[in-house]
Amino acid sequence: MGGKGSGFPYDRDLNERMAGMVIRTDKLKATLKARRQQAVTAWTFFQQWLKAPLTTAAISPSSKELAAEMMREVPKESGHVIELGGGTGVFTEALLDHGIPGERLLVFELNETLHMHLRTKFPQANIVCADARELPRIVEAANFCTPGEVDVIVSGLGLLSMSKELQQEILEAAFAVLSPQGRLVQFTYGPTCPVKREVMRALGLHARRTGFTIWNVPPASVYVIKKSVAKRVKALRV
């Protein structure tokens, strides 16, 4: 049967195949666009690693699989969340997708190029170019919150390669802004918690390994670090 007023025979199967080709072409375009964006992001990160290999935690951005492991330890009802070492924004994007509102997310990035990249990519979030050791001062200067009101800190910092002194300064600043029940979510490429035992003891902290993913370069583990809670001892009756 011919198409209405077309003068050509109507072929339903052909039309369906052509519609299917259009859909597949659109999906291919979207996939290629995403791959190009990923390549640009990876190249930007690698360039910054070449410039400062000692201050950049890895040679490539964290994977989405690692981000998913980190997000499992971030309660969705969290009031204020801080990210340390925003990098190219893998964790930043995951936090926003996880339901953390941009106005309640404060991202620290010390590298100026990556800081500008983050500000352009995530205008809805609070992005600062600052040192993690300045946490208490920055949260107040940025009118983000009062120290002691932060629920979660997600850390992309390379603690494993840091000195004991630098680790302690960063963690002291972190737990100065966290609430008493707050947590630091940290990933590491090493086989154990990246924070040195002396630092953990000095600050009264304890760590729990909560996740691992092989789908990261290199494979990574996730730890949740909290303030140790002293157990109450019942008084003995004499």
How far apart, in Å, do the first and last CA atoms of the chain sit?
103
Architecture of domain 64-227: 3-Layer(aba) Sandwich (3.40)
- Residue 140: helix, strand or coil by DSSP? helix
pLDDT at 142: 95
Does the pLDDT value for residue 171 go beyond 80? yes
Q: How confident is the model at residue 34 (pLDDT cuts 50, 70, 90)?
A: very low
pLDDT at site 234: 57
Positive/negative CA dihedral, 160, 79, 134, 110: positive
Q: How far apart are CA 78 and CA 55, in angstroms?
A: 29
3-state SS record for 60-93: CCCCHHHHHHHHCCCCCCCCCEEEECCCCCHHHH
Please determine, for residue 38, whether its predicted confidence score (pLDDT) is greater than 70: no
Give CA–CA dist 95/161, Å, rounded.
25
| pLDDT tens per residue, range 105-142 | 999 999 999 999 999 999 999 999 999 999 999 999 99
Residue 107 phi, psi dihedral angles, 5° rounding: -110, 125
The pLDDT score that the predictor gives to residue 154 is 98
What's this model's pTM, rounded to 2 decimal places? Answer: 0.75
Q: Where are the domains of the chain?
A: 1-51, 64-227
What is the pLDDT at residue 165?
Answer: 98
Model pLDDT for residues 209-227, shown as the tens digit of each residue:
999 999 888 899 999 999 9
Mean pLDDT of all residues in 13-30: 68
